[in-house]
Amino acid sequence: METAIPHLVEPHPVTGIPNGKFGIWLFLASEVMLFGALFSSYVLIRVGAPHWPPEGGLSSEVLNVPLGTFNTAVLITSSITMVLAWASCKMGSLPKFKLWMAATVGLALVFLVVKYFEYSDKFHHGHFPSHDNFYGIYFVLTGLHGLHIVGGIVVNTYLLTFGSKLWNVDREWFTNRVENAGLYWHFVDLVWIFLFPSLYLL
């Protein structure tokens, strides 16, 4: 099948990978710079603070560590189901792909629901981003990460539904799209693996 943009399926002779994968790697590089800048700001603010959190105590006493741990397990599991969804495409099974991709989307929604209850508890106790630097950093980092989760849900849901029609047209192209979505999803999970200990445990 000919496409308007070349090398969407076969590797580009210069990069050695399809253009779609090259594009997602460039996008993830910009995401690394974004979160890297935010993490650097967090480190500088924390190192310069006489007390952290400013109200005293430990981060683990202020934030809900059990919920954070549960959400970590949820995201790690979703990375596994994402790999299984891609592997199902490679093995030529669309039904299994849909099963594992639905599981990935479902786990992502579980993460957001848990985060909703966590945020609600903070707001109920009057802890808003403007409360102090600790909560400002907490809400900015976890909120931005949550938006990336929403983005992943949108893309994966599209691949699960309307986007899966491409399977009947060009299976390899569709599989490449799933792989690209998986790269993004693994990055989102990796960010949380850094966020959780940095904010909740240290």
Residue 127 lies in a domain: yes
Residue 73 lies in a domain: yes
| Predicted local distance difference test score (pLDDT) of residue 58 | 67
Q: What angle do CA 103, 78, 61 make, to 5 degrees?
A: 125
Residue 89 lies in a domain: yes
Closest CA to 154 of 93, 111, 109: 109
For tokens 């808003």, name the residue: 128
Number of domains within the chain: 1
Q: Tell me the per-residue pLDDT of 65-122, one tens digit each, with 9 for 90 and over.
A: 999 999 999 999 999 999 999 999 999 999 999 999 999 999 999 999 999 999 999 9
Per cent of the chain over pLDDT 70 is: 91
Whichever domain contains 105, its CATH number is 1.20.120.80
Residue 180 lies in a domain: yes
Residue 165 lies in a domain: yes
- Does residue 139 surpass a pLDDT of 50? yes
Name which residue leads in pLDDT, 120 or 62.
120
Q: Which domain holds residue 185?
A: 19-201
Residue 9 lies in a domain: no
| Predicted local distance difference test score (pLDDT) of residue 125 | 86
d(CA 113, CA 115): 5
| Predicted local distance difference test score (pLDDT) of residue 155 | 97
Residue 137 lies in a domain: yes
